[in-house]
Amino acid sequence: MTPAEATLLLNDLTAIASRAADAIRARPAATVAHTLKADQSPVSVADEAAEAVILDGLARLVPDIPVISEEAYQRAAPASLPPTFLLVDPLDGTREFLAGRDEFAVNIGLIHDGTPIAGVIAAPARRLIWRGAAQRAERATDHGDGRIGDVTAIHARPWPAQGAIATVSRSHLDPETTAYLAKLPVTRAASGSALKFCVIAQGDADLYPRFGPTCEWDIAAGHAILVAAGGAMTDASGRPLRYGDLAARLRVPGFLAWGDPARAAV
């Protein structure tokens, strides 16, 4: 599958993400039950409801493409992966959701040959959706039930001479990331979930560093959108990120997401 072919799936992937956002909105945080997984991260009935919507939608849309979803992976990890597969986090930022913040998201990323080639991120509480493939990146209003409006092209910005902004994790800020940022002339803005990628992709921030381990389904959709918007993403050492590493349990040790690709080469 080529990036151009992936672009043809964007409308349908957007509709699936919108319906998953509906499933989350139908279950307000104050009313949902949740438990802790083995890694002590929370999972709620809203996670499970969104996952059911996404898996059903993807099975109808692309029945021949395997889907790796966070909650399903915890139940049964695949033994192998083909070159093309989907990575899904049905509710990224469950801690933020349960805390009553609006910084949670639905992530759907399409991977080919280890690289994200299309991505959709929905922000249920904000009723916004970001999507990207090839050189096409957009933000839209989510009207629910798969309907969107106010579609606007978005672009990452060049590194500013002054006032650069680094967006960082609200819940997972690690000491190495803090030390890295201390060396740069940036202002920090904390946020939850993959929405940090969207802020960079639409030109409102410049850098998202994370040196702690991260699951691939947390970043694949954001990676695709950022690159489609003109940005760049590497591992923590500046090398290309590769997805589908089952030996690493689909985790990356760290990454750097840049609005200005020239900074990634520094």
Q: 241: domain CATH number?
A: 3.40.190.80
How would you list the strands of the sheet with 128-133, edge to edge? 67-69, 84-92, 105-112, 115-123, 128-133, 136-144, 147-153
- List the chain pLDDT tens, one digit each, 266 residues: 888 899 999 999 999 999 999 999 999 876 777 776 666 577 889 999 999 999 999 999 999 999 999 888 878 888 899 999 999 999 999 889 998 999 999 999 999 999 999 999 999 999 999 999 999 999 999 999 999 999 999 999 999 999 999 999 887 778 899 999 999 999 999 888 999 999 999 999 999 999 989 999 999 999 999 999 999 999 999 999 999 999 999 999 999 999 999 988 66
Domain that holds residue 256: 164-264
Domain count, the chain: 2
Residue 66 lies in a domain: yes
Looking at the structure, tell me whether residues 80 and 100 fall in a common domain: yes
How far from 23 is each of 19, 20, 254, CA to CA, in Å?
Answer: 6, 5, 31
Looking at the structure, tell me whether residues 127 and 12 fall in a common domain: yes
Looking at the structure, tell me whether residues 226 and 178 fall in a common domain: yes
Domain boundary among 97, 125, 153: 153
Residue 36: the pLDDT is 64
Looking at the structure, tell me whether residues 69 and 103 fall in a common domain: yes
> Distance between CA atoms of 78 and 66, rounded to whole angstroms?
10
Residue 39: the pLDDT is 65
pTM for this predicted structure: 0.95
Phi, psi angles (nearest 5°) of residue 148: -130, 165
